[in-house]
Amino acid sequence: MCLIGLAIDQSRRFPLVIAANRDEYFARASARLGWWTPDGGGPAILGGRDLAAGGTWLGLTAAGRLAMLTNVRDPSRADPQAPSRGLIVPQWLAGQEATDRFWARTMLSGHNGFNLIAADFRRGECFWGSSLSAGPKRLERGVFGVSNALLDSPWPKTNRLKASLAQSLSGAESLDGLVSDLFAALADRSLADDAELPSTGVPLDVERRLSSAFIRTPDSSYGTRCSTLVISERVGRGLVTHVLERSFSAAGTVSLLRQTTLKNWPPRYTDAPDAPPVTETEVTESAGDEASGSEAPPAKRTRVRSLLKPAVTPRR
């Protein structure tokens, strides 16, 4: 992923919303959205897959873990022999380590620069961590954005996506309307003014070309490969999560829309640790970009619990 917008508990009806673009070379083999099992075993992952190294840029498990990753753009520090950053996501999703041990091991694994947003909804926790930061930061309710720098760095495309996400949520009257708005925000090809561009060590013309949400290089060798939405919707007393992925050809046209729905996901953090997870549901595919979502009426205005467990404040 090269651009992620995340909203947690900003809407009563849609408590979790993710809108993200993956930018990559078109020559790098990838699999589209679906359920798959990592090479080393572990729980099945719902997400796309990098077939070159076996990892992913965004994935979730039925048990309630989710992770998504972006690269940090710094050519001067790039090591071509470093392990694939995409392997960090399935390592988190495997859920074999306590959070603090996972972060410590990952930061010492020799990866090139990265950002990772990782959640364990059964524990009611969500964190952001980066190779540029001293340690992980716990995320609470809010709207967040990350591209190829630190969380909420004021890059133009990050700011635009965060603003679009907040505006779309505030006016969302239906799932289909929200899906349409967010896909439109991810398809934005507006370039930033030179005065607004960050300096990441690449030539100015490249920096300018990479400043839009949707990217396509002049030779069509690199660009936005897919746009992914994860939208959790309150339906009655439960949650239904819709996962949609638009994939693009090198010419920049929509080639496929894949989507699936998870019932009772993400799990409540009050669930017992051994509660049965949701089942793996079929991923459907269509040639167009029509999203078929539920049109359930908004939930009644009753008190609703946050997806995240309140942080414990030490006593003085």
Predicted local distance difference test score (pLDDT) of residue 241: 98
pLDDT in tens, 232-271: 999 998 999 999 999 999 987 777 899 999 999 999 986 5
Secondary structure (3-state) at 27: coil
Q: How far apart are CA 224 and CA 5, in angstroms?
A: 15
The arithmetic mean of pLDDT across residues 22-43, rounded, is: 95
Please, which pLDDT band fits residue 97 given cuts at 50, 70 and 90? confident
Residue 299 pLDDT = 43
Q: What is the CATH number of domain 3-286?
A: 3.60.60.10
Q: Give the model's confidence band at 100: pLDDT under 50 very low, under 70 low, under 90 confident, else very high.
A: confident
Question: How confident is the model over 292-309, as pLDDT tens digits?
Answer: 554 444 444 445 679 999
Residue 156 has pLDDT above 60, yes or no: yes
Please give the residue that has the higher pLDDT: either 237 or 208: 208
> Residue ranges of the domains in the chain?
3-286
Q: At residue 202, does pLDDT exceed 90? A: yes
Ranges assigned E (strand) in 179-281: 222-235, 238-248, 254-263
Residue 315: predicted pLDDT: 55
The letter for the amino acid at 284 is: T
Q: Is the bond into 266 cis (omega within 30 degrees of 0)?
A: yes
Instruction: Return the axis-axis angle of helices 156-171 and 175-186, rounded to nearest 10°.
Output: 170
